[in-house]
Amino acid sequence: MDLGVSKNLEPLLAAVKAFMAEEIAPVEHDYIHEIGVGDRWQFTDRQTEIMESLKDKAKAKGLWNFFLTEGEHGSGLNTVEYAYLAEEMGKSHIAAEVFNCAAPDTGNMEVLHKYGTEAQKEQWLKPLLNGEIRSAYAMTEPGVASSDATNISTQAVLDGDEWVINGEKHYISGAGDPRCKIMIVMVKTDPDAATHVQQSQILVPMDTPGVENLRPMNVFSMDDAPHGHMHQRYTDVRVPKDNIILGPGRGFEISQGRLGPGRIHHCMRAIGAAEKALQLMCERAVSRTAFGKPLARLGGNIDIVANARMDIEQARLLTLKTAWMMDNVDPKEARVWISMIKTAVPNVSIRIVDQAIQMFGATGVSQDTPLAAMYMGQRTLRLADGPDEVHRMVVGRNEFRKYMDTKPVNAIRRHG
Amino acid sequence: MDLGVSKNLEPLLAAVKAFMAEEIAPVEHDYIHEIGVGDRWQFTDRQTEIMESLKDKAKAKGLWNFFLTEGEHGSGLNTVEYAYLAEEMGKSHIAAEVFNCAAPDTGNMEVLHKYGTEAQKEQWLKPLLNGEIRSAYAMTEPGVASSDATNISTQAVLDGDEWVINGEKHYISGAGDPRCKIMIVMVKTDPDAATHVQQSQILVPMDTPGVENLRPMNVFSMDDAPHGHMHQRYTDVRVPKDNIILGPGRGFEISQGRLGPGRIHHCMRAIGAAEKALQLMCERAVSRTAFGKPLARLGGNIDIVANARMDIEQARLLTLKTAWMMDNVDPKEARVWISMIKTAVPNVSIRIVDQAIQMFGATGVSQDTPLAAMYMGQRTLRLADGPDEVHRMVVGRNEFRKYMDTKPVNAIRRHG
Amino acid sequence: MDLGVSKNLEPLLAAVKAFMAEEIAPVEHDYIHEIGVGDRWQFTDRQTEIMESLKDKAKAKGLWNFFLTEGEHGSGLNTVEYAYLAEEMGKSHIAAEVFNCAAPDTGNMEVLHKYGTEAQKEQWLKPLLNGEIRSAYAMTEPGVASSDATNISTQAVLDGDEWVINGEKHYISGAGDPRCKIMIVMVKTDPDAATHVQQSQILVPMDTPGVENLRPMNVFSMDDAPHGHMHQRYTDVRVPKDNIILGPGRGFEISQGRLGPGRIHHCMRAIGAAEKALQLMCERAVSRTAFGKPLARLGGNIDIVANARMDIEQARLLTLKTAWMMDNVDPKEARVWISMIKTAVPNVSIRIVDQAIQMFGATGVSQDTPLAAMYMGQRTLRLADGPDEVHRMVVGRNEFRKYMDTKPVNAIRRHG
Amino acid sequence: MDLGVSKNLEPLLAAVKAFMAEEIAPVEHDYIHEIGVGDRWQFTDRQTEIMESLKDKAKAKGLWNFFLTEGEHGSGLNTVEYAYLAEEMGKSHIAAEVFNCAAPDTGNMEVLHKYGTEAQKEQWLKPLLNGEIRSAYAMTEPGVASSDATNISTQAVLDGDEWVINGEKHYISGAGDPRCKIMIVMVKTDPDAATHVQQSQILVPMDTPGVENLRPMNVFSMDDAPHGHMHQRYTDVRVPKDNIILGPGRGFEISQGRLGPGRIHHCMRAIGAAEKALQLMCERAVSRTAFGKPLARLGGNIDIVANARMDIEQARLLTLKTAWMMDNVDPKEARVWISMIKTAVPNVSIRIVDQAIQMFGATGVSQDTPLAAMYMGQRTLRLADGPDEVHRMVVGRNEFRKYMDTKPVNAIRRHG
């Protein structure tokens, strides 16, 4: 169970770190600043110029599509190796996109790669792999507890050669991006079928008539423009019968395959965010003075930093082991590990970001450090792709199951 | 030590609750919605209409200026009594202003009431008491740890009959409001004096030449427009010599008097926010279903709710006792209690709001519940008016001091 | 809602403090040391001499039976007043007994006082009130979850004029004491009755044939000799029909009445223990040096002390309010408050004792400070008289109940 | 960085598990029961018979001295491999001794193996490796903060060919064991030397005149007889000059070498204890019923179990990585990792044991489950071999050091 940086990965990891320091860091701030300029839901010319030129450079250096581990377009990396790269990307607000490794595109590309028809691949996977378009994934619904996938109520009904879709979805991340051309929508195709074969996943081009962007949803007060977390309504949205992925009733199955790697990527980026927050916290602590001492020597700050280091190391190892499980054991077993990191890791990253905020005082919640945005992002991760509560249930049940059929060891014995 | 609702308070508390339910609740949502309309830094006509008509009604019913406990304009309430009213106001985003009990006006009015000259009172206290203008308090500076007040670097130099002020302040809450006409600015007037008599507080009308709003500071990504948390620069800002409050070198002393009640009010409103979050959490838990059960019956949700109830009750009692101490003991002793609630209470309110968010899922971080805004407000309270760390230092030192001069009781004895 | 020290209480509280400092403190250590001498399940002559002489002095000064608030033998104190005295007693291992205010005698005396017949009072209440005998309360059973009182399986069957009791109880505190003469035993008298009227409480003299002390139960490795937490077996134990208290089927009802005050007393003593631990911690911190500094100035120790102070103040106020509720509101409402303190307070006292242990290093777990014994006592309190989990359930359910029948306020509204 | 079970280890790990299940488990309870029989500070014949026969069997199967990784007597295992075995041993109270892998013998054998002269090895290492005698390590002193090793005050003065030792040590684990024949004592040999070369380590046979067992120290109320945690006084204790290990002034250096592996072993056994507690908790939860449901389905129990699983996995991985660092990197770097696990792991194991206790109710603190003893052992681990506070200081300082000499990245930038 090798969880270290492999020989294979070493040069790649170094190249990514160098690219981030030399190419991304100098322009990242400019890029973010541009979000507030003009129509917030369009990219400014300056933004487009920054991002496209970074993408071109990254692609030219082969720092591209790392996430896709297998197949002809695959990077040949295993999940442990990719995890180290994802961690680095997690330290920047824009790096994942620069390397064409940003959610939700990565998950969508994986779905198309694994389950798509040749025609679907040609039409959507190819431009996604090239970084020419972006995509979205419409899953969560406003009226029901979407953590329980059987609650999905958006319906797709077959009418001749077309699926007719009606319903509402919200928190469709990236659906505000003008470059977003395609969505995978989770729908209910057969309400009368057995619980886990009622759902399907369907490709819906963004410009299909009947797809309506109702409003951007906020994450705290952040709308993440122009990426956006959209609330959409579907009114008699018609797509060709062939737009279904893998076939009717396979939606739940696809989710399971899609969400695993996505959650690991999220967690590794969260580790990166936590490392970044710890770095900022330490820099602040050694350089800022109050009551005649650097903050590093006041009160429990050294304990906070020490605990942060321990928590990060543990969270990273758990994520790396989960990545290893993903590659090496039965998916059912790996799923429990994914639920573990999906609960454990964001709680670590939030806590550390929160403590870094405290170390920065008012500046910590301001627009002058990345901490506030990091907090909002990490906090949302405790809800996205299943809330903590659901993942804990998965882990807890798995644990109890081990003892269901066995007689207890004789734990209790009377001592005189 | 009566911490209950007094006979005197009963009808007033009932009237405030009724006013909030009947007058404020029906229009609050409209008011908040208007913030996003047009120029976010101006009030819309609809907003002005809502707020001014609510204020008129409240004033007409005598539900006005409760916070001012003494003097001819005073409500005659003691701090314990006011605390119960502040808690109610804390459940709404706009109620404190409706009853003319909103920060930072309350603190500023108290300062003017206690320490202002007759002329200062006539010019500024009167319109503030009438709710005709609003005010700001400029304390925190961007470059230094303002939690240590001796770090203040904005300077005021006497030049003939005028103070000339140069420096920068940020997080000046309310300074974005077009109705904000006057600021109290904490400045350094005598850098060579003893540490705690270097500072003074000076009245600076908002439209004084040289006062420049550089930008609004964010709280997370919320700019709180049009209220705003402004970053200002002062360039040769000139105000009359008489604009100083109480005299040169008294700034620190005024702070001490000003911040005490302000912190209690903050804490009582925080209790109100926590109660509101608990209410929302419970309503969600009993009405939302997942995996075939109401959330109330899933996992540890009942424990979360029970702990929230216990935490709120304890935090409220601590705040009420602190209010009582404020009214009944030496201010030095009361100050330690204020540091206790200033640390303990926001940590409770944040935790409960955070758990309510989790119970609501993605909706909890959205604009569809007040929870996200409550979270951002409560989290900032851990930094505003002194970060937790400084208040803990006050409490801890006070505790150690009890044992400094005494010989330890013989804690350690050898048993055979 | 006066939660302060009343005028009435002031002299009494001063007298108790003085008695503890002047009479108990000088001999307490000797008393505890004697437990290890000779037969650990008998009192040594020295122990008897110390305790009886302390009791005589306390009784002579009227510092006696404070706990009994009403009736001819009552102290005339209300529960808030008694709470302050109980807190003081909680700082010493032996004080409660000295003032004849020790559990489980206090609860048993209350039961006899409220529900006993004249004959029962004459035979058992009188010597208990005089401090001539001690008593026990047999409730918990080894094989079932006794937190759910309906699980009780010890049976009492009426045979002519006698109840015949068979079953097992454990953790019968005080049943090892040679002076313990009487037990109240919770039994099932009518297994076919409605759930809460199956149980009865019966007086069983300790020397009744068939009562067998199987072994002392440990609390961690502490057997608390000669007090003891006994495991007993009842084999055809026969007591007169009249030994039943209040009548068959009233057992659950008596429990409810008995446990309320008992839990408040426990909690107030726990506050005393927490105060004692905080005192020891501070004395250690200011006097012990490591790495060239007193512990008080190392790492987060000042934060630990500050948090301890805040937690204690909040826990005390919650307990005092609960005491006030006990005296002033409907018992059903008070019961929820009792569940709150029963959960909240021991968790505070354990945490503080645990942190004090850490401040003392190895000495903290040794026999050279009272901390280890305090830890074991406080930890057990999270289980005794209902585990945290059951009390949280009571509090949580009460909270949810408020929203069961009401329609939710419209928490969720869509903002554009 | 392979943290898995190696091919090499697989059969050994299986053999240890089998031996524990088949040989140790059936007699462990008997062995523990015997501690209470007769003179608690002697082994009963039954105890000796059980332990010696287990040791003979283990030795015969080659399940012996795993801990010694190198040298002619070494097991050939690396530290990662040994860690897995230590975890298994941590699930039983007696297994470590059975495989001759019990502290403090392991640390003492390592010291003698690495630093001992041939004569010292012949006289003491050989019988220790054979399991014929046991040993102790005298480090902690009653009067000073021993976490700061420079505080050591026991003195050894050279008088001709002999060292003359005077002073007191306490918490000398194992010094009560009648089979304990040799001690390594940390002494100050040159109070005037530089801080870290004042100390030496000296071999002191247990029966040397002047060595006096003052009393057993308790861990909570547990005296761990006949192993014991002794308090000793040294009065003119004379040992030959050659009994010094490695030479005068090398004591601190030896400690550093000795404590590293010892702490890893402690942590791995702590993981084993945590796994055992989680197992007991789950068995209880699925088999015990209250309020009509198994505990597993009540309140937050499933969350507690899920969190325990996540915490254990993270703590184990951190410990395995530390073991790997021990074998593969510079000892200075490894030391920071050791401080991490020494803080992080016992806090995890205590929490889980504590929660298991709560799940068992009163039985959890009794002598009828191993939980109470596990709690006392794990809690003490937060103090033994350096309290959490000191290890956190090591980790925190190491973190700050990274930023001491570097200029901060420009974390703060102003956004308009």
pLDDT of residue C85: 96
Task: Calculate what percentage of chain A has a pLDDT beyond 70.
Answer: 96
Nearest CA in chain B to D295: B299
With cut-offs at 50, 70 and 90, classify the pLDDT of residue A416.
Answer: very low
Q: What is the mean pLDDT of residues D172-196?
A: 94
3-state secondary structure of B92: coil
Nearest CA in chain C to D372: C220
Cross-chain CB nearest to C286 (options B287, B404, B416) = B404
- Tell me if B296 and C344 make a contact (CB, 8 A cut-off): no
- Tell me if B358 and A151 make a contact (CB, 8 A cut-off): no
Q: Are strands D211-217 and D229-240 parallel, antiparallel or unpaired?
A: antiparallel
3-state secondary structure of C14: helix
- Tell me if B302 and C32 make a contact (CB, 8 A cut-off): no
Match domain C134-245 to its CATH number in 1.10.3720.10, 1.10.1200.10, 3.40.50.720, 2.40.110.10: 2.40.110.10
Give tens-digit pLDDT for A387-407.
Answer: 999 999 999 999 999 998 655
With cut-offs at 50, 70 and 90, classify the pLDDT of residue C150.
Answer: confident
**B416 contacts on D by Cβ (under 8 Å):** 215
Q: Min CA distance, C81 vs chain A (Å)?
A: 38
Which residues on neighbouring strands pair with residue A171, listed in sequence order?
A: none
| CA–CA distance, C58 with C85 (Å, rounded to integer) | 14
Q: What is the mean pLDDT of residues C283-298?
A: 92
Size of interface A-D (CB pairs under 8 A): 171
Q: Min CA distance, D204 vs chain B (Å)?
A: 24
Structure tokens that stand for D227 in this block: 């192993």
Cross-chain CB nearest to B379 (options A365, A382, A389) = A365
Q: Min CA distance, D362 vs chain C (Å)?
A: 6
Instruction: Report angle CA B197, B201, B207 to the nearest 5 degrees.
Output: 155
Cross-chain CB nearest to D375 (options C220, C367, C388) = C220
Cross-chain CB nearest to A220 (options B142, B217, B221) = B221
Residues ≥6 apart with Cβ < 8 Å to B129: B65, B68, B73, B100, B109
Give tens-digit pLDDT for C103-135.
Answer: 999 999 999 999 999 999 999 999 999 999 999
Interface test with A, best of D7, D80, D314 (most A CBs within 10 A): D314
pLDDT of residue D74: 72
Residue type, C193: A
| Mean model confidence pLDDT for chain B | 92
Residue type, D69: T
Alpha carbon D373 to chain centroid distance? 15
Cross-chain CB nearest to A367 (options D344, D400, D415) = D415
| CA–CA distance, A247 with A199 (Å, rounded to integer) | 10
Structure tokens that stand for D312 in this block: 């254990």
pLDDT of residue C75: 79
**B215 contacts on D by Cβ (under 8 Å):** 414-416
pLDDT of residue A355: 97
Q: What is the mean pLDDT of residues B382-391?
A: 92
- Tell me if C409 and B283 make a contact (CB, 8 A cut-off): yes
With cut-offs at 50, 70 and 90, classify the pLDDT of residue A144.
Answer: confident
Q: What is the mean pLDDT of residues C18-41?
A: 90
C50 has a pLDDT exceeding 50: yes
With cut-offs at 50, 70 and 90, classify the pLDDT of residue D241.
Answer: very high
- Tell me if D309 and A282 make a contact (CB, 8 A cut-off): no
- Which positions in chain B have a beta carbon within 8 angstroms of at least one beta carbon in chain D? 215, 299-300, 302-303, 414-416
Q: Can you tell me which residue has the tokens 């936590």?
A: A274
Q: What is the mean pLDDT of residues B30-54?
A: 90
Structure letter (DSSP) for residue A243: G
Give tens-digit pLDDT for A303-352.
Answer: 999 999 999 999 999 999 999 999 999 888 999 999 999 999 999 999 99
Identify whether the C-beta of residue A337 lies closer than 8 Å to the C-beta of residue A345.
no
Q: Min CA distance, B222 vs chain D (Å)?
A: 14
Run of H or E including B276: helix B251-287
Cross-chain CB nearest to B303 (options D299, D414, D416) = D299
| CA–CA distance, D165 with D185 (Å, rounded to integer) | 9
Give tens-digit pLDDT for B263-283.
Answer: 899 999 999 999 999 999 999
Which residues on neighbouring strands pair with residue B313, listed in sequence order?
A: none
For chain A, the structural domain boundaries read 9-116, 134-245, 252-404
C405 has a pLDDT exceeding 90: no
**D215 contacts on B by Cβ (under 8 Å):** 414-416
Domains C9-116 and C252-403 share a fold: no
D405 has a pLDDT exceeding 80: no
pLDDT of residue C237: 98
A408 has a pLDDT exceeding 60: no
Instruction: Report angle CA A162, A167, A170 to the nearest 5 degrees.
Output: 125
With cut-offs at 50, 70 and 90, classify the pLDDT of residue C413.
Answer: low
B252 versus C395: the higher-pLDDT residue is C395
| CA–CA distance, A188 with A186 (Å, rounded to integer) | 7
Q: Min CA distance, D180 vs chain C (Å)?
A: 22
Identify whether the C-beta of residue C76 lies closer than 8 Å to the C-beta of residue C235.
no
Q: What is the mean pLDDT of residues B234-255?
A: 94
**B218 contacts on A by Cβ (under 8 Å):** 365-367, 372
pLDDT of residue B397: 96
Give tens-digit pLDDT for B202-211.
Answer: 999 999 999 9
Q: What's A9-116's CATH class?
A: mainly alpha
Interface test with D, best of C229, C366, C374 (most D CBs within 10 A): C366
With cut-offs at 50, 70 and 90, classify the pLDDT of residue B416.
Answer: very low
| CA–CA distance, A384 with A104 (Å, rounded to integer) | 12
Enter the pTM of the model.
0.95
Which residues on neighbouring strands pair with residue A187, listed in sequence order?
A: A200
For residue B69, give Cα distances in angstroms to B101, B108, B332, D208.
Answer: 12, 14, 20, 78
Q: What is the mean pLDDT of residues C57-82?
A: 88
Question: Which value, to the nearest 10 degrees, does the dihedral of the CA atoms of residues C45, C51, C54, C58 take?
Answer: -140
Cross-chain CB nearest to C400 (options B286, B368, B370) = B286
Nearest CA in chain B to C337: B310
| Mean model confidence pLDDT for chain A | 92
Q: Which chains touch A (3 or more CB pairs under 8 A)?
A: B, C, D
Task: Calculate what percentage of chain D has a pLDDT beyond 70.
Answer: 96
Structure tokens that stand for D183 in this block: 């001690």
B125 has a pLDDT exceeding 60: yes
pLDDT of residue B411: 53
- Tell me if C287 and B343 make a contact (CB, 8 A cut-off): no
With cut-offs at 50, 70 and 90, classify the pLDDT of residue D71.
Answer: low
Task: Calculate what percentage of chain A has a pLDDT beyond 90.
Answer: 81
Helix axes C301-328, B388-404, angle to 10 degrees: 90
Identify whether the C-beta of residue C93 lies closer than 8 Å to the C-beta of residue C32.
yes
Q: What is the mean pLDDT of residues A261-274?
A: 93
- Tell me if D303 and B299 make a contact (CB, 8 A cut-off): yes
Structure tokens that stand for B267 in this block: 């804490």
**D295 contacts on C by Cβ (under 8 Å):** 145
Q: Can you tell me which residue has the tokens 């916290």?
A: A281
Please tell me the CATH code under which domain A252-404 is placed: 1.20.140.10
3-state secondary structure of C178: coil
- Tell me if C387 and D358 make a contact (CB, 8 A cut-off): yes
3-state secondary structure of B248: coil
- Tell me if A284 and D315 make a contact (CB, 8 A cut-off): no
Interface test with B, best of A220, A297, A342, A374 (most B CBs within 10 A): A220
- Tell me if C358 and D389 make a contact (CB, 8 A cut-off): yes
Identify whether the C-beta of residue C320 lies closer than 8 Å to the C-beta of residue C344.
no
**A221 contacts on B by Cβ (under 8 Å):** 220-222, 367, 372-373, 376
| CA–CA distance, D398 with D336 (Å, rounded to integer) | 7
Q: Can you tell me which residue has the tokens 């140790």?
A: D24
- Tell me if A33 and D282 make a contact (CB, 8 A cut-off): no
D331 versus A369: the higher-pLDDT residue is A369
DSSP-assigned letters across all residues of D111-165: HHHHH--HHHIIIIIHHHHTTSSEEEEE---SSS-TTSGGG---EEEEETTEEEE
pLDDT of residue C284: 95
DSSP-assigned letters across all residues of D290-310: ETTEEGGGSTTHHHHHHHHHH
pLDDT of residue D146: 76
> What's the CATH architecture for C252-403?
Up-down Bundle (1.20)
Identify whether the C-beta of residue C230 lies closer than 8 Å to the C-beta of residue C176.
yes
Q: Min CA distance, C180 vs chain D (Å)?
A: 22
Instruction: Name the CATH topology of D135-245.
Output: Butyryl-CoA Dehydrogenase, subunit A; domain 2 (2.40.110)
- Tell me if A215 and C416 make a contact (CB, 8 A cut-off): yes
Cross-chain CB nearest to A220 (options B142, B288, B372) = B372
Give tens-digit pLDDT for A209-267.
Answer: 999 999 999 999 888 999 999 999 999 999 999 999 999 999 988 888 777 788 899 99
The number of beta carbons lying within 10 Å of the beta carbon of residue C99 is 26
Size of interface A-B (CB pairs under 8 A): 125
With cut-offs at 50, 70 and 90, classify the pLDDT of residue C414.
Answer: low
B113-122, B332-341, C148-157: which has the minimum mean pLDDT? Answer: C148-157
- Tell me if B365 and A383 make a contact (CB, 8 A cut-off): yes
- Tell me if B282 and C340 make a contact (CB, 8 A cut-off): no
Give tens-digit pLDDT for D312-351.
Answer: 999 999 999 999 999 999 888 999 999 999 999 999 999 9
- Tell me if C305 and B409 make a contact (CB, 8 A cut-off): no
Q: What is the mean pLDDT of residues A290-302?
A: 91
